[in-house]
Structure 1
Amino acid sequence: MFNLFNLSLKINGFPIKKAVAEFEKIQAVSDVEYENFTIQKRKEIVDYHLKNNKSYQEFVGKISFQNWAELPIMTKKDFQKPLSERLSEGFTIKNVYVNKTSGSSGDPFIFAKDKFCHALTWANIINRFGWFGIDFNSSLQARFYGIPLDFIGNKKERLKDFLKKSYRFSIFDLSDSVLEKVLLKFQNKKFDYINGYTSSIVLFAKFLQKKNIVLTSVCPSLKCCVVTSEMLFDEDKILMEKQFGVPIINEYGASELDLIAFQNPNDKWQVNSETLFIEILDDENNILLNGKEGRIVITSLYNKAHPFIRYDIGDIGILDEKSTFKKPILKKLIGRTNDVAILPSGKKSPGLTFYYVTKSIIEDDGNVKEFVIKQTKIDTFEVEYVSEKELTESQILNIEKAITTYLENNLSFTFIRKDKLERSKSGKLKQFVSLIK
């Protein structure tokens, strides 16, 4: 078989063969030795950057370290300076992989990975998708992602899709007439898997539910569906499994790092311990025990071009108590640290609590397709929603009652029906946003 995907990586200077061999070597380290192995890799990458990266030397304030917990925490704001000033010796913008974060946290920045590190990312992705029988060189992907609308950007992405054996559905218009055409493609193409933004794929599942169609009845080649970049709620997962007829896999990643966690065949959210080291910290930067909720802080163990060492990604989560160095399990991803609602009483509540409570009521009859919640003042919220018919007074009262039960009294809500919701340039839908500083 002609391995077009692997060949495209090789042509672009990413040594995929070497990376796959290294990845397998890492995986062969035994459970017993893995803690020492990880500590050694941590030390090597910090020593490397303290020796070769002027920006990181200045950030740490010294050229050697003794204690891991003493190393300062990096945040997105520390990367708000030209990339050329952040690269290690021997690396230039021309000999590294350069990309930009999505900016969903409000602090977008340009980052770099050395080419071997980026090839390791692909080795990891290939490994995880392989758990479900997906081969990037031969499996056909149905891709629900945003796409640049300008001519050159659009053509570049289409070429990438061709090399990745994927067919892209643009997600900026997902009206029923467009979803009819999506369904027709599934009838005519032998897709192996679906991959894309959670909210868009949920909309497709709701469309199928309305038509009483199980996707595998029209596309029997389908093996699985991988959702990414947005929260996956339990009811949505159940709905998608029913309407697609395949396992729904939850992916959590960050473009500047790697895949962070990927649901394994035992339905556990397995953290990538091969190329990353993940810790959970409290607000004072103390390392928390497994089972405790805190900030997700990540170290990239192989990126020599650009340091991501004890990098606060801006998310809140919990590692399972049964986690080991070799096989950490992400018990829960609670959301982003900047998606927190501060209420009149002073109580802080993850914005997704509003979304979750509202969702449990709003979708009972399948009328509402999707919605977002915006906090406009400390006690005032707007709910923008797309639906076939307007919400009734009793539905609105039920939502307000449920939110009062879960959160607190005297919060004010305005419900605004829209034809479609505003998505970011990349096509992501932000389920909750606070507009107050």
Structure 2
Amino acid sequence: MYKWIYKQGVKRRNPLLPTAENFLQGTDKWSRAELEAYQLEKLKVLVSWAYKHSEHYRRKLDGANMHPTQLQTLADLQRIPPITKKTLIEENEAVHATANFKRLIYSETSGSTGSPLTFYRNLEWDARHRAAIHRGYSWYDIQPWHRNGYFWGYNLDVKKHWKLKMMDKLVNRFRIFSYETDEINAFIKKLKKADYLEGYSSMIYHIAQKIEREDLPIRANLKMIKGTSEKIFDSYQPTVEKVFGRKIISEYGATETGIIAFECPDGNMHMTMENVIVEVIDGEIYVTNLFSKSFPIIRYALGDYVELDTETKCSCGREHTIVKSVIGRIGKEILGEQETYPSFIFYYIFKNIVMDGGEAISYQVLQHKKGHLEFLLEPHLSDDTRRRLETEIVKYFSTDMTYEISEGATFYRDGGKLKDFVSFIETV
């Protein structure tokens, strides 16, 4: 029944999805050379389209003395100036293509890192985005209509709340609404027939913690647990794997870029090279979505620090570039008494502890005033681990920063999502 409902829904929402899914299944084991040749082919089409139909990009390319016919290699993409979220918001109308599309799909970012961005996706863009997710599911023998549990928010408005529950019913999904024991027990009962879980990684972890702590009986045979929209701390994995039988895998992307990478069963995040081109400059990621004709996304500064791996040959056989790690958000800088520091320093502080044989730590750092940091740690540390942490803090900040460490802490949520660094200092 759910398969039939799903296929009827696809016909109504976006009939291009099956074609996109078939294509990505066929390119799953393409060579790197084939993938890059395809990227160049689609890039030429996109840039020519943007030059013809987007006022913003026409001005941008003319200003850079770059005509689409000069785009002959992937490296030539670097001749086009990057674009930021601020520009996409301020020049929204000029970025949108003036061409006639059969139908467009309204999209909106969460606005968790600032002002929300609204735009319209053409059907092929939307189909490729969803097909990338579904290809990742297929690596775990999952179909989109399979039974799944959802760790996400819900709307308190009564009408919208019931509408959401009805939608969940149609798509064979159930979600958890609170951390209350009765609610968790009801959720556990539904897990017996579930194929996968997905949602905020912190919610998945905290539910697993409560199940373990209260020794609640659980029976599940999950094929996949997927974390989205939040950092997945290494410290989450032992508890989640013990309770649910699987670790949390990563899906990396954004509303405006589409799915950038999906983690395979062998533990590597493979880039969706058929849909996007990714550049990393000074650690910062820039994304080009090859099917974003209605609202061209070309060399978009997404706002993340990442590490790529183009050398490793994954044992799964895929040759798509590997996203080795998403280090953190590019946002407000850390302000010392004399110097400023990038926020990805915290990633290395805690990574160094693990690399030195220490324990993985769930953390959040807050800054309320210049020259002082508050380290919120979820676990209680051993004396040795605390000494290691203090040594790492001093190594990176020396005497330019004072700090306090709170163990067994509750994290601050900014806009509903968990961030590893939050600054409350207003800067001009």
**Pairwise same-fold verdict (TM > 0.5):** yes
The answer as to whether partners of 1:339 and 1:351 remain within 8 angstroms in 2 is no
1:132 aligns with 2:140: yes
Which of 275, 281, 303 is matched with 1:314 structurally?
303
Cα gap change, 1:4 to 1:211, in 2 (>3 Å): same
Alignment of 1:104 with 2:106, yes or no, is no
Is it true that 1:207 corresponds to 2:210 in the alignment?
yes
Change (3 A) 1:42 1:411: same
- Return the offset for 1:243: 2.4
Counterpart residue type for residue 241 of structure 2: E
Q: Per-residue displacement from partner, 1:292-319 (whole Å, max 9, x unpaired)?
A: xx11110000121111001110001111
Change over 3 Å in CA distance of 1:101–1:161 after alignment to 2: same
| 1:391 positional shift | 10
Letter of the 1:328 counterpart: T
In the alignment, the residues of structure 1 paired with residue 403 and residue 284 of structure 2 have an alpha-carbon distance, to the nearest angstrom, of 30
The aligned counterpart of 1:71 is 80
For the 8 Å contact 2:376–2:410, the answer to whether it is kept is no
Structure 1, unpaired ranges of 5+: 283-293
Residue 130 to residue 357, structure 1, CA distance change in 2 (3 Å): same
Aligned to 2:188, which of 186, 189, 194?
186
- Written as runs of structure 1 = structure 2, the 5 A alignment for 1:17-416 is 17-27=18-28, 30-61=31-62, 64-65=67-68, 66=70, 67-81=76-90, 83-91=92-100, 95-137=103-145, 139-170=146-177, 173-174=178-179, 178-189=180-191, 190-212=193-215, 218-282=218-282, 294-322=283-311, 327-338=320-331, 340-346=333-339, 348-350=341-343, 353=346, 357=350, 372-383=364-375, 403-409=393-399, 411-413=401-403
| Kept after mapping to 1: 8 A contact 2:371/2:402 | yes
The question of whether the paired residues in 1 share the 8 Å contact of 2:328 and 2:347 is answered with no
Letter matched to residue 375 of structure 1:
Q
Change beyond 3 A, Cα 1:87–1:155: farther
- SS of 2:250's partner is strand
Tell me the amino acid that sits aligned with residue 197 of structure 1.
Answer: Y
Cα deviation, residue 158, structure 1: 3.0
Q: Which amino acid aligns with 2:154?
A: I
Q: Aligned partner of 1:411: which letter?
A: M
Distance in 1, Cα, partners of 2:82 & 2:351: 35
CA–CA separation in structure 2 for the residues paired with 1:14 and 1:39 = 26
Per-residue deviation at 1:252?
1.1
Q: Which consecutive unaligned segments of at least 5 residues does structure 2 have?
A: 71-75
User: CA offsets per residue over residues 7-39 of structure 1, 9 Å max, x none?
Assistant: 213212442223223434544754433322211
Structure 2: how far apart are the matches of 1:308 and 1:337?
A: 19
- Conserved in 1, the CA contact under 8 Å of 2:225 and 2:249? yes
Rounded Cα–Cα distance in structure 1 between residues aligned with 2:125 and 2:359: 48
Structure 2: which amino acid aligns with 1:434?
A: S
Contact kept? 1:373, 1:381, Cα under 8 Å: yes
Give the letter for the 2:197 counterpart.
I
How far did residue 359 of structure 1 move?
12
Does the 8 A contact of 1:273 with 1:328 survive in 2?
yes
Q: Tell me how far 1:415 sits from its aligned partner.
A: 6.6
Deviations 1:224-274 (A, max 9, x none): 211111111222223322222124211111012211111111111111112
Residue in structure 2 matched with residue 287 of structure 1 by the alignment: none
Q: Please give the per-residue CA displacement for 1:208-229, whole angstroms capped at 9, x wherever unaligned.
A: 332346xxx7223322211111
Superposed CA deviations along residues 379-431 of structure 1, whole A, max 9, x for unmatched, are: 122456789xx999999898656533453236334578999655345x31223
Give the number of aligned pairs: 409
Partners of 2:277 and 2:190 in 1: how far apart? Answer: 43
Instruction: Give the aligned partner of residue 428 of structure 1.
Output: 417
Contact 1:296 1:315 in 2 (8 A): yes
TM-score by length of 2: 0.83
Separation in 2 of the partners of 1:35 and 1:392?
48
1:166 is displaced (CA, Å) by 1.1
Which amino acid in the other structure matches residue 308 of structure 2? L
Change (3 A) 1:276 1:160: farther
- Normalised by the size of structure 1, how large is the TM-score? 0.81
- In the TM superposition, what whole-angstrom CA distance separates every residue of 1:191-215 from its partner, at most 9, and x where no partner exists? 21110111111111222332346xx
Report the AA paired with residue 80 of structure 2. L
Secondary structure of the equivalent of 1:218?
Answer: coil
AA aligned to 1:431 is D
In terms of mean alpha carbon deviation, does 154-163 or 371-380 score higher?
A: 154-163
For the 8 Å contact 2:54–2:94, the answer to whether it is kept is no
Change in Cα spacing, 1:47 to 1:386, as seen in structure 2 (3 Å) is same
Partner SS for 1:205: helix
